[in-house]
């Protein structure tokens, strides 16, 4: 038998066999022929990697911003607590706040002393720090006056991210004792 005749017999046999297959079998066979090429897989992996990278960078930036916001809110809360305690004449005393790089301390009286059992320490997030403390009269203490809530230690300080000094919040204290975050 020559080669042409053999090929035509084989193709005729295959065609006959194909016609005898059920529709389900045909679909299964054509499905098995479909698939992803290596290039398609590489493109899909590359797109997935880019998406993951964008999400991670965005989350990191969001986390850094929130760290500074939360630390500034904590410091603001301690300052406001000291002012409220002073205005309300709690224990017939004045209250103040002592600032350090990694913590703020609410203290009772005109002068910060340590150790003192009445001091209430609030640590700042380990990712943030207090810097650029600039209070009238120098120093790192902010003390409020009874009944009025005014202070002679007005000024400002910054809460900044340790890893990126460009991310910060400024806390301003007015002579009236009013405090705000910028």
**11-63, pLDDT tens digit by residue?**
544 555 555 556 656 566 555 556 677 888 899 999 999 999 888 887 878 88
> With contact defined as beta carbons under 8 Å apart, do 124 and 159 qualify?
yes
Residues 103 and 125: their CA atoms lie apart, in Å, by 9
The structure tokens 């090929």 sit at 7
> Is the residue at 52 inside a domain?
yes
In a domain, 7, yes or no: no
The number of domains in the chain is: 1
Evaluate whether residue 170 is within a structural domain: yes
Q: What is the CATH number of the domain that holds 129?
A: 3.55.40.10
**Is 33 inside a domain boundary?**
no
Residue 5 lies in a domain: no
CA-nearest of 152, 81, 168 to 122 is: 81
Q: What is the pLDDT of residue 60?
A: 79
Does residue 13 belong to any structural domain of this protein? no
Residuewise pLDDT in 10s, the chain (182 residues): 554 555 554 454 455 555 555 665 656 655 555 667 788 889 999 999 999 988 888 787 888 888 999 999 999 999 999 999 999 988 889 999 999 999 999 999 989 988 888 899 999 999 999 999 999 988 899 999 998 999 999 999 999 999 888 999 999 999 999 999 99
DSSP assignments along 2-52, one per residue: -HHHHHHHHHHHHHHHHHHS-HHHHHHHHHHH----HHHHHHHHHHHHHHH
Residue 89 domain-assigned (yes or no): yes
Q: Is residue 17 situated within a structural domain? A: no
Q: Compute the Cα dihedral for 157, 163, 166, 168 and give only its sign.
A: negative
Asked whether 175 and 151 are in contact (CB, 8 A), the reply is yes
Which residues constitute the domain of residue 120? 39-181
Per-residue pLDDT at 13: 47
């Amino acid at each position: 038998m020559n080669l042409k005749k053999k090929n035509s017999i084989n193709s005729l046999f295959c065609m006959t066999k194909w016609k005898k297959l059920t529709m389900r079998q045909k679909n299964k066979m054509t499905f098995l022929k479909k698939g992803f090429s290596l290039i398609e897989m590489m493109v899909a992996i590359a797109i997935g990697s880019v998406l993951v990278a964008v999400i991670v960078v965005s989350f990191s930036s969001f986390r850094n911003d929130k760290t500074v916001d939360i630390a500034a809110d904590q410091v603001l809360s301690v300052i406001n607590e000291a002012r409220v305690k002073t205005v309300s004449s709690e224990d017939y005393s004045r209250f103040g706040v002592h600032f350090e790089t990694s913590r703020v301390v609410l203290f009772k009286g005109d002068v910060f002393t340590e150790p003192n059992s009445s001091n209430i320490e609030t640590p700042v997030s380990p990712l943030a720090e207090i810097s650029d403390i600039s209070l009238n009269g120098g120093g790192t203490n902010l003390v409020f006056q009874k009944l009025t809530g005014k202070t002679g230690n007005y000024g400002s300080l910054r809460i900044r991210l340790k890893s990126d000094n460009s991310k910060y919040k400024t806390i301003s204290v007015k002579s009236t004792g009013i405090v705000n975050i910028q």
